[in-house]
Chain A
Amino acid sequence: MATNILEVNMYRYNPEEDKFPYIKQYQIEKPAKDIMVLDLLHLLKEQDESISYRRSCREGVCGSDGMNINGKNGLACITPISSVLKKNKIELRPLPGLPVIRDLVVDMTEFYAQYEKIKPFLQNSTTAPEQERLQSPEDRDKLDGLYECILCACCSTSCPSFWWNPDKFLGPAALLQAYRFLADTRDLKTNERLEDLSDPFSVYRCHGIMNCVNVCPKGLNPNKAIGKIKTMLLKDKKEIITTDGAMN
C-alpha cells in the first residue's frame, strides 16, 4: 500500500439492513498534518454518509466519542492518529461489551444503570448552612483524581469482569464515583453506601486486571479507588464513621 494512503477498517452494523455486523475497509489519503481519530471519522463520513458515531465537544470533555481504536478504548477526539497507526492501518470498533445500536454507537443503558446504583449525589440530612457546606483544603484534596471522571465508559467497557457481569459488577467508572462520595467528608451515608457494596459482585468482582487504568483518557486510577473501597469494606464499619460524620 502506498505510504500516503491510510487503511481504515471499521465495524459496521445497521440492524435495519444487516443480519450480522461486518468490517468495512476504507482507504483515505493520509492528511498532511497529524489529526485526531474523530477528524478522520469526519473525513470518512464525507466518503460514506451512512457511518454513525457519537461526538459532541471534540475536546475530551463530554465523553461521547469513546470507541475501540486499534484494540484499545479511547476518546476519538483526543487520540492523534499518529499514536495509534500500525502499518498505516487503523481499526475502529464500538466500545466492547455493550449492545451496538448502530456502527460505533453503543447502548449505554447498562453502564448508566450501574452509575445510578451508587447514588451519585451528596447525602447529608443535617440542616444546610446558609451558603455552602465547607471543607478543609485537606478534605477537598481527597476528591482529586475522583471527580474528574467524564463517564465516557472507556474503563468499564475494557474490564472483563464488567463484560461478564454488567448487571452485577458495578464497573470501574461507577466504583470510582462510589469512592468519590465515600471520600467526601460532607456525605454522611458512608455505612449505607458500604452496605450497598458489600455483596460478592458489586466491588469484589474486580480482580485488579488494571485495563481501566490503562485506557482512562483522563489519566484516572479507578483501580486505586476500588482498592480503597475494599479496605473500607474490610474494616469494622464502626471505625469508619465518627459521630460527627468525619471519616477516619
Chain B
Amino acid sequence: MKSGRLTWYLQRYSAIYFISFLVYLEYTFWTSGITFQFLSSNNLFKASLSIFILLACIHAYIGLWTVGTDYLTKRTLGFISSGLGASANTLRKIYEYIFILLGALIAALYILIIWF
C-alpha cells in the first residue's frame, strides 16, 4: 500500500458500485423475478455479480489491512506482552496473507460457479 489516494478512491468507488448493484438487483427482482434460469442465462447479471465479488474482496482487504496496521503493531500487541510486540510485524503479515488467500479463493470459487 503505497498510495493513500488509490486506496481512498478504491474504497469509495467500490462502495458506490455496491449501492448501484443492489439497486440493479432490486430492479431486476421486481421486473423480471430472479429465477435460477434467469441468473444463469443473463450475461449482464453474471458480469456485474463477478465485478461485485472482485470489488468486495478488494474493499474488504483494504479495510482489514487498516485494522491490522492499527491493532497488530509492536505498540498495541506490546501492551499484552513484549514477546507478542516483538513478533507483531510477522503476525500482521500472516494475518494479511490469510485474507489475501481467503479472498482469492472465495473470488475464484464464486466466479467459477457463476460462469461454469
The answer to whether B70 and A200 touch across the interface, beta carbons within 8 angstroms, is no
A199 at the interface (CB under 8 A from B): yes
A199 touches B4 (CB 8 A): yes
The distance from the CB of A209 to the nearest CB of chain B, in whole angstroms, is 12
User: Is A156 in the interface zone, CB < 8 Å from B?
Assistant: no
Interface residue ranges of B9-67 to A (CB < 8 Å): 9, 66
Residues of A within 8 A of B4 (CB): 198-204, 233
Residues of B within 8 A of A160 (CB): 70
B5, B7, B71, B73 — most chain A CB neighbours (10 Å): B5
Contact between A165 and B1, CB atoms less than 8 A apart: no
The size bracket of the interface on B is 10 to 19
Which one of A164, A198, A205, A233 lies within 8 Å of B76 (CB-CB)? A164
Indicate the member of A160, A202, A205 with the most B CB atoms within 10 Å: A205
Q: Which of B2, B66, B71 is packed against the most chain A CB atoms within 10 Å? A: B66
Q: Is the CB of A161 within 8 A of B70?
A: yes
Mark A147-165 against chain B: 1 for CB-CB distance below 8 A, else 0: 0000000000000110011
Per-residue CB contact flags for chain A residues 199-216 toward chain B (1 = under 8 Å, else 0) read 111111100000000000
Name B's interface SS.
Answer: helix
Tell whether B92 is near chain A: CB-to-CB under 8 Å.
Answer: no
Give the A-B contact count at a CB cut-off of 8 A: 37
Least CB separation from A194: chain B residue: B5
| Nearest neighbor of A168 in chain B, beta-carbon distance | B69
Residues of chain B contacted by A198 (CB below 8 angstroms): 3-5
Q: What is the chain A residue whose CB lies nearest that of B62? A: A200
**A42 vs B1: C-alpha distance in the bound complex, in angstroms?**
49
Quick one: which of B1, B2, B8, B75 contacts A234, CB cutoff 8 A? Answer: B8
Please, how many angstroms separate the alpha-carbon atoms of A163 and B66 in the complex?
14
- Among A161, A200, A203, residue most surrounded by chain B Cβ atoms (within 10 Å): A200
B71 and A200 within 8 A (CB):
no
A164 touches B73 (CB 8 A): yes
Taking each of A160, A161, A164, A230, which has the highest tally of chain B beta carbons within 10 Å of its own beta carbon?
A164
Q: Which residues of A contact B70 (CB under 8 A)?
A: 160-161, 164-165
Residues of chain B within 8 A (CB-CB) of A164 are 69-71, 73, 75-76
Residues of A contacting B8 in the complex (Cβ-Cβ under 8 angstroms):
204, 230, 234
Report the 9 A-B pairs with minimum CB-CB distance, sorted nearest first: A204-B4, A200-B4, A164-B70, A200-B1, A200-B7, A199-B4, A204-B8, A198-B4, A233-B5
Residues of B within 8 A of A (CB): 1-5, 7-9, 66, 69-71, 73, 75-76
A sample of 13 more A-B contacts (CB under 8 A), given A230-B8, A233-B4, is: A164-B75, A198-B5, A199-B2, A199-B3, A199-B4, A200-B3, A200-B4, A200-B7, A201-B4, A201-B69, A203-B4, A204-B8, A205-B66
